[in-house]
Structure 1
Amino acid sequence: MLQNFAAVNMDDVSGLTALDLRPTGGDDIVQQLNTAARRPRWGWIAAITAFILGAALLPWGFIIWAVAVPGCWWLFLRDALQKNVVLLYDLEDAPAVWFDRFTTAWGTAAASDRLWRTVESGHVQTTYQHKTNAGVEAIVRRVPAMARIQQPKRLATNVDIPTLRAGKDALYFLPDRLLVCSGKHYSDVAYRQLSVRRSVTRFVEQPGQVPKDTQLIDQTWQYVNVKGGPDRRFKNNPVLPVVQYGQLELTTSQGLAWSVQSSRATAFDDSAALLLNAPA
């Protein structure tokens, strides 16, 4: 694969967002999160209004600001309570052991130098495309991703949650389900419905962009001939490093689709194995 998509038709492979995924958790947590996300931030609205009004009525505006401060502070505290959903876990026995092991394994993924999510992919179909795209069979477009262990946005829990984020989209690996977030919209997926696939892939990287924890396995050229050597007709034909990346694919029959690459080939080994054996 190569991160270059010149003259190749690309297809969206990012799957459905949380807005389109039907929740499968069987309770109202997702509904509570979506309701909390839609609530306006009255504290900011009041603060901005008071500032504008006070500025327009100076010097009397100082009195308006003094009166508005405690009211705005109270609204900020109220917003913080209403825009968060509390979910407490009492983990015991096998579920507790599984989640503790998964959280530890996720730390290995978080330690990768670089992570990416693949959002578009296209197959090389013609000889010309093959020769001008380093001889690869598929082209992808990726966006940076991050793996963390943290508290989910708008969800207050008593445990830290393994998190995978790419742009405005995020996956939160809760003890009992996978929480899917797209902007201000939430859905969830039961672990029993999640398909997990881990693999190692060859990737043609750009010069000077090889992460420090990546294994360099070969090299190629931007323009190649039919036998795989450099095409001598191009004077500017840079040498491209071929590296080995890890890949984690999380999908469901409903349309969730996350394909994540890690600069460290083994980054997702343990966490993928644990997801395949998540408690029902």
Structure 2
Amino acid sequence: MGFYLRTSLKAGPFRFNLSPSGVGVSAGVPGFRVGTGPRGNYVRVAGLGTTYFGGGATAPISSGSPMPMPPATRNDGIVMQELSGAPVQQLVAAHPSDLISQIQAAARRHLLWPWVAASLTLLALISAPYGLLLLVPGLPGVWWLRQRDLARRSVVVFYQVDDVPALNYERLITSSSFVSRVQRVWHVEAEGALDTSYQRKVNAGAGALIRRSPAQLNLAGPPVLVTNIAVPSLHGKDRSVYFLPDRVIVRHGAQYAGFPYAAVNAHAQVQRFIESDTPPADAPRVGTTWQYTNKSGGPDRRFKNNRQLPVMLYGRLTITSSEGLLIVWDFSRPDVAAELAEALCGMR
């Protein structure tokens, strides 16, 4: 299938290969032991179900009911509701797994080699010219430490996807156009209704105000995950969603949670948006309005520099779960949001 990228994986000095007898590992640097490196996981997804090799499921983590984020009131009286859903720490308890535990542990490990490299450079400069001799044994040591850090911050997973799940996953990657088809994506962080006529007047006549940040689509996957497949991913400022063949992984900062597709709902809708920035070239333009409007929709002459704004047609993708997951994305092309929602529903 087209989503397979490689047959062997590298994590620091370790190389993993999948063979009929299982996942094999070798180390190419003296001083590294296989027992101190990342584990190799094997996941087979087929029409009869999903099989995991590499560790058992972890015990559930106890937690209380999800606590919704309280609305924040701006100085102009607009109440903004955060669209963040339940905290990731609570979402972890809903569907615990060994893979998520490994990813969490790897993400929490700090890189040591940059600090050692900076300290070595500073010491060499302070004690120059003789201190420069420290670089002779020091640079190989920094390289060795960097390889160690890469190994400790890597989770290796081999996927074998067959039958109908393979077709569905291929459709997810191709129909959602994760590489280049959509020009802009935004993570919608908060939304507030404009209740008064004055609030609507000074906000181009809109019915709601949103807070958003730029996002991107790619096939990179979680930074600590080393795998043999392309992983469609949506990346926001501090939240990301990764679509694996067997589950959806959500990241908030350094915290991760996983959900089976059966537990995730995806919904797309068309969104009229008054664009104050430069509009994307691939978005349909359906009208114009004024930054400050009067009751009839025309420009309010009492405001100086009252510019005309384009009304664009965007696509909104909302991903939810019954456990409290909520992430909202806007796409400059409505058809891309609709295709992605349809493909995600096909993974259930």
Q: TM-score, normalised by structure 2?
A: 0.74
Instruction: Kindly report the root-mean-square deviation, in angstroms, between the aligned alpha carbons of the 2 structures.
Output: 2.1
Task: Between 140-149 and 129-138, report the one with greater CA deviation.
Answer: 129-138
1:136 aligned to which of 203, 206, 209? 206
Picking from 219, 222, 227, the partner of 1:149 is 219
Unaligned runs of 5+ in 1: none
Post-superposition CA distance 1:142-196 (Å, at most 9, x none): 1001011124200001101000001122111011111111222211122111121
Query: Is 1:51 aligned to residue 121 of structure 2?
Result: yes
Partner of 2:47: none
- The higher relative CO (CA closer than 8 Å, separation ≥ 6) is in 1
The size of the alignment, in residue pairs, is 275
Confirm or deny that 1:115 pairs with 2:174.
Answer: no
1:250 aligns with 2:319: yes
Gaps of 5+ in 2: 1-73
1:129-153 alpha-carbon deviations (Å, 9 max, x no partner): 1222222211111100101112420
Q: Name 2:11's counterpart in structure 1.
A: none
State whether structure 2 residue 250 is matched by structure 1 residue 180: yes
Q: Which residue of 1 aligns with 2:156?
A: 86
CA–CA separation in structure 1 for the residues paired with 2:119 and 2:294: 66
Aligned partner of residue 316 in structure 2, secondary structure: strand
Aligned counterpart for 1:200 among listed residues 270, 280, 292: 270
State the match for 2:141 in structure 1: 71
> Does the CA-based 8 Å contact 1:110-1:146 persist in structure 2?
no
Cα pair 2:183 2:281 within 8 Å, conserved:
yes
- Is structure 2 residue 315 aligned with structure 1 residue 231? no
- Quote the Cα distance in structure 1 between the aligned partners of 2:140 and 2:113: 11
> For residues 235 and 102 of structure 1, what CA distance do their matches in structure 2 show?
48
Kept after mapping to 1: 8 A contact 2:92/2:256: no
Name the CA distance, whole Å, in 2 between partners of 1:42 and 1:139: 43
Alignment partner of 1:212 is 2:296: no
Worse-matched range after superposition: 107-116 or 31-40: 107-116
Which residue identity is paired with 1:144? P
Provide the C-alpha distance between the structure 1 equivalents of 2:297 and 2:75, rounded to a whole number of angstroms. Answer: 19
SS in 2 for 1:276: helix
- The change in CA–CA distance for 1:5 and 1:273 in structure 2 (over 3 A counts) is farther
1:39 to 109, 112, 118: 109
Question: Following the alignment from structure 1 to structure 2, what is the Cα–Cα distance between the partners of residues 98 and 5?
Answer: 48
Per the TM alignment, residue 274 of structure 1 is displaced from its structure 2 partner at its CA by: 1.7
Instruction: Select which of 151, 155, 176 maps to 1:106.
Output: 176
Quick one: distance in 2 between partners of 1:38 and 1:22?
A: 15
Write the letter of the residue equivalent to 1:245.
Y
Indicate the larger mover: 144-153 or 21-30: 21-30
Q: 1:44 to 1:109 in 2, by over 3 A?
A: closer
> Any conservation in 1 of the 2:177–2:336 contact (CA below 8 Å)?
no
Aligned partner letter, 2:208: A
Instruction: Give 3-state SS (helix, strand or coil) of 1:161's partner.
Output: coil
Q: Tell me, in whole angstroms, the C-alpha distance in 2 between the residues paired with 1:122 and 1:151.
A: 32
Q: Deviation per CA, 1:103-126: give whole Å up to 9, x if none.
A: 112226752111111111111111
Could you tell me which residue of structure 1 aligns to residue 259 of structure 2?
189
Instruction: For 1:211, give the aligned amino acid.
Output: P
Change in 2 beyond 3 A, CA 1:86/1:149: same
TM-score, normalised to structure 1, is: 0.90
Q: After superposition, what is the alpha-carbon deviation per residue over 1:2-61, rounded to whole angstroms, capped at 9, x for unaligned?
A: xx9955222211223434422544421111112112223232233223223323333331
